[in-house]
Amino acid sequence: MAAVETAESSNVQRTSRYYRKERIEAMRAVLAQTKLNKPKPGLPTHQHERGIGPATVLAIGTAHPPTAFEQETYPDFYFDVTGCSENVALKSRFRRIWFALSKSLCLPSDTFTSPHTLSGLITSERCAKIRMTRSTVLPCAQNPPVGTGLLASGDRSGINRRYFHMTQKVLEENPSICSYMDGSLDARQEIAIREVPRLAEKAAIKVLQEWGQSRSSITHVVFATTSGINMPGADLTLSRMLGLKPSVNRVMLYQQGSLGGSTALRVAKDLAENNKGARVLTVVSEITCFTFRAPSEEHMDNLVGAAICSDGASALIIGSDPKPGIESPLYEIHWCGQTILPGSDGAIEGRLSQAGLIYHLMKDVPGLMSRNSQPILSEAIEVADFPEWNDVFWCVHPGGRALLDEIETALQLHPDKLQATREVLRDYGNMSGASVLFILEQLRKRSVDMELATTGEGSEWGIVLGIGPGLTVEVAVLRSCPTF
């Protein structure tokens, strides 16, 4: 018996030595391969896996729903489709808010409300008058070309038109959405799941066509939206619609609000710079299906959104080390940062409920931005050495006329510095997170049409300023590229 045990023990030892030898040989092979791929002396670990230059915007594409609403007639449509046209007092109040936001006058003093409880109780607050400049309204036109004189210096009117998926037909098919607080989450969600990727696809196709490279070269997808939540998300739906490879790496950003575009820009920058050869399709798609509802005296904040918000999608291709002669760089992304403004709790909030997304606005959002604009941008000065704010180009989220006027005053900007932002607000309204990328495209178009040397309207450096829930601010420092 002992002899048998000794033989078995000997066999186990020989087998163990055999497998140990195999493991050692396998490890030696791995080490040998590692030596072949060893980074160059002096470079940090993994440096060989990263891009050399900064992340760069290589193409831009934008899209919006086909149905346009002229701002002059929208109040009548809004009250008619929600069955509130007989509420003359509320309609008159909405017109005052709409007129103030669109025509650069002072907002009515009872516009804003404090955050309400689930029972719907809201306490009205007095709204401080906001410094705004009177100006005439431009005649409505279908996408007036840049440089035609329709928006000359000093003539800074507000919104002319907005684009919506929520047409009368769509709303008649979903009557619960036209109520104030009826349960309508399922109806809103169904629209978002279907239409958010569709609108994103339109922008993505445009950006891919401009980029001109194979879709198989897309390595990452970053998708941002505040319109709906589902698993898998709109990132997967879009990837399938475009026929991207199954191994594409996806990042889905939900509920970023108006920060969606600038946050997606920051995430795409990190992906592009830390993955050599990466090409990141960055998309923001927003539809107002979650926030559209009937007007109510209990929630005046909603009337502000109804007066300026709209639908749109924008897309970028971002990657490091553009291929000479093949890819055309538009903007280099040199730095991105995020900060929460002090004393801004509750400034911009959104709460998902059975009635959709209910948002609340603090009356002093423009003032918060005005008081904190210099500290927010202090790090940006260290990245790009420019003497003063009028030496850079600006891409600011068009959160409304008051916000833009306050930023312009606080930084002592020349009127033309926010021209591209005001043009996007005029022609499209506030498209939430998609807006800042629309403005990048507008800056590029203006630069080319005016035959300026760079995509930054002739300036070398520029600032992207995203503003959203928190109150959170995203800042990006861009370097423009030659236009020829």
Distance CA(291)–CA(293), nearest Å, equals: 6
Biggest alpha carbon distance in the chain? 107
The residue among 467 and 379 whose pLDDT is bigger is 467
CB 177 within 8 A of CB 293: yes
pLDDT in tens, 339-354: 888 888 877 888 889 9
CATH topology for 60-187+287-480? Peroxisomal Thiolase; Chain A, domain 1 (3.40.47)
pLDDT in tens, 163-192: 999 999 999 999 999 999 999 999 999 999
Distance CA(419)–CA(449), nearest Å, equals: 14
pLDDT in tens, 360-378: 887 778 778 878 877 888 8
Closest alpha carbon to 267 in 318, 314, 233, 217: 318
pLDDT above 80: residue 261:
yes
CB 130 within 8 A of CB 403: no
The residue among 311 and 28 whose pLDDT is bigger is 311
Domain boundaries, the chain: 2-38, 60-187+287-480
pLDDT of residue 113: 38
pLDDT above 60: residue 67:
yes
52 alpha carbon, distance to own chain's centre: 26
pLDDT of residue 148: 31
Q: Which two tokens stand for residue 43?
A: 């470079």
Query: For the residues 201-220, what does the mean pLDDT come to?
Result: 97
Report the share of the chain in percent with pLDDT over 90: 55
CB 438 within 8 A of CB 428: yes
One-letter-per-residue 3-state SS of the chain = CHHHHHHHHHHHHHHHHHHHHHHHHHHHHHHHHHHHCCCCCCCCCCHHHCCCCCEEEEEEEEECCCCEEECCCHHHHHHHHCCCCCCHHHHHHHHHHHHHHHHCCCCCCCCCECCCCCCCCCCECCCCCCCCCCCCCCCCCCCCCCCCCCCCCCCCCCCCEEECCCCHHHHHHCHHHHCCCCCCHHHHHHHHHHHHHHHHHHHHHHHHHHHCCCHHHCCEEEEEECCCCCCCCHHHHHHHHHCCCCCCEEEEEECCHHHHHHHHHHHHHHHHHHCCCCCEEEEEEECHHHCCCCCCCCCCHHHHHHHHECCEEEEEEEECCCCCCCCCCCEEEEEEEEEECCCCCCCEEEEEECCEEEEEECCCHHHHHHHHHHHHCHHHHHHCCCCCHHHCEEEECCCCHHHHHHHHHHCCCCHHHHHHHHHHHHHHCECHHHHHHHHHHHHHHHHHHCCCCECCCCCCEEEEEEEECCCEEEEEEEEECECC
Indicate the pLDDT class of residue 109, thresholds 50, 70 and 90: very low
Query: For the residues 456-462, what does the mean pLDDT come to?
Result: 95
The set of residues, in sequence order, having a beta carbon less than 8 Å from that of 425 and lying 6+ positions away, is: 158, 159, 308, 398, 401, 404, 435
pLDDT of residue 192: 96
